[in-house]
Chain A
Amino acid sequence: MRPLLALFVREWRVARRIGGGAAVGAVFFLILVAIMPFALGPDLRLLAKLGPAILWIAALLSTLLGLDRLFQADAEDGSLDLYAHAAPPLEAIVLVKCAAHWTTSILPLIVVAPLFGLMLAMDGPALGLTTLTLLAGTPALTMIGAIGAALTASLRRGGLLMAVLVLPLAIPALIFGVAAASAATGGGAGFATPFAALAAISLFAIAAAPFACAAAIRLARE
């Protein structure tokens, strides 16, 4: 476990010192949420109804921000090659890197989400459910995004390509996430069923994505 713990600590330190990660992500999230009322108009009932969907789309886009550097930075400085010579398998290294990214860049977004939701006239239950679905769904977004990041790690301007690759794959998580979050504002499907599906997507992504990422990284070394 010690090698992987050291990796987690390094990722954490780099994210904290370089900055940009958590703070810029949260500001981007804030701006996305704040411009919605300008586009949709000041109808509070409409905003409250659309609130969960707006928070989810904002979270999805903010998640992609910074994810393109997940493996690219390691590819540029040569670290990605050296992971091949460590005792832990590359799949475990990928999973730890994703976990570190989630805690440093995504978790802060989830923490501020209820605050930003107030700007959309959402009430307590809606804020609570939306935050809960983000907590359950963002691991899936991170892991799916990591596959795109691994595929584009060696490309110079891979960020946009990554978004194009990843966004369609994030649709199932988005559907179930918004469906569960909308239960408080009278969404049709109720909470439990879509939430269970969302959690299942996240668990599947956590289990499967490291293998896809590792395969993409090995392929890119050639």
Chain B
Amino acid sequence: MRLLAENLTLERGGRRLVAGLSFALGAGEALIVSGPNGAGKSSLLRGLAGLLGFAAGHARLDGGAADLTMAEQLHYLGHADSLKGALTARENLSFWAALLGGGALSETEALRRLGLPHVADFPVRALSAGQQRRVALARLFVAARPLWLLDEPTTALDAAAQDLFAAAMSEHLAGGGLIVAATHAPLGLASARSLHLAGGAVAA
């Protein structure tokens, strides 16, 4: 499976952020997108997730399940956690597992992965920001999807949780998954490729 981006041009509010960006990402590879604030990292991820139109160029997933669209084979983790505060962590995760396809770890297993099994039955509203982020990350494990698009995934995480998530990402890559992550902090991935967006000028 390969993620192919061809000649991507991104515009926001009439401002050109990225021009003529091309890259190919193979199975088991991670791409770390870096750059200053406003360089277009989040826009690039939203574009790949199909939430934002590219001004030119296109991205596609080669060699995936033939009957699924690209949108149905990717996980998008944005700045928002996509959790309902009134529901428990388990209820939130089982909802996303049902809506996004499931076929992976159980809610309890996914939370254990991120060191959070003891809060499964608490309302998410009662959890700390870091714990909420970990529940949001657990969504990646309850539905099996090959392409992960992560926007600042480790915000609010403590060092232990960052290590747990780095191990989980490595395992996803070892299983043939793909990761595109926008981040300022190092994610702890050994062999990740990097893409630096520098506000208009692109150096890949």
Identify the A interface with B (CB < 8 A): 2-3, 5-7, 9-10, 13-14, 17-18, 76-79, 81-88, 221-222
Q: Which of chain A's residues has its CB closest to B70's CB?
A: A85
For the complex, give the distance between the alpha carbons of A10 and B100 in Å. Answer: 14
A10 in contact with B87 given A82-B76, A86-B100 (CB within 8 Å): yes
Q: Which residues of A contact B98 (CB under 8 A)?
A: 2-3, 5-7
Asked if residues A77 and B87 are in contact (CB atoms below 8 Å), the reply is: no
Known contacts A6-B98, A13-B86; A78 and B50 CB within 8 A of each other: no
Residues of B within 8 A of A18 (CB): 86
Contact B83 A77 (CB under 8 A): yes
Q: How far is the CB of B79 from chain A (nearest CB, A)?
A: 7
Q: How many residues of B contact A (CB 8 A)?
A: 29
Going nearest first, the 5 A-B pairs with the smallest beta carbon separation are: A78-B80, A6-B98, A17-B86, A78-B82, A10-B95
Highest count of chain A CB atoms <10 Å: which of B76, B78, B80 = B80
Known: A85-B74, A85-B100. 13 other contacts (CB 8 A): A2-B98, A3-B98, A10-B84, A10-B87, A14-B87, A17-B86, A17-B87, A85-B71, A86-B72, A86-B99, A221-B52, A222-B52, A222-B53
- Which partner residue on chain A sits nearest B149 by CB separation? A85
Contact present for B101 and A87 (CB under 8 Å)? yes
B75 contact set on A, CB distance < 8 A: 85
User: Is B81 among interface residues, defined by CB-CB distance under 8 A?
Assistant: yes
Q: Give the interface centre of B83, B95, B99 by most chain A CB atoms within 10 Å.
A: B99
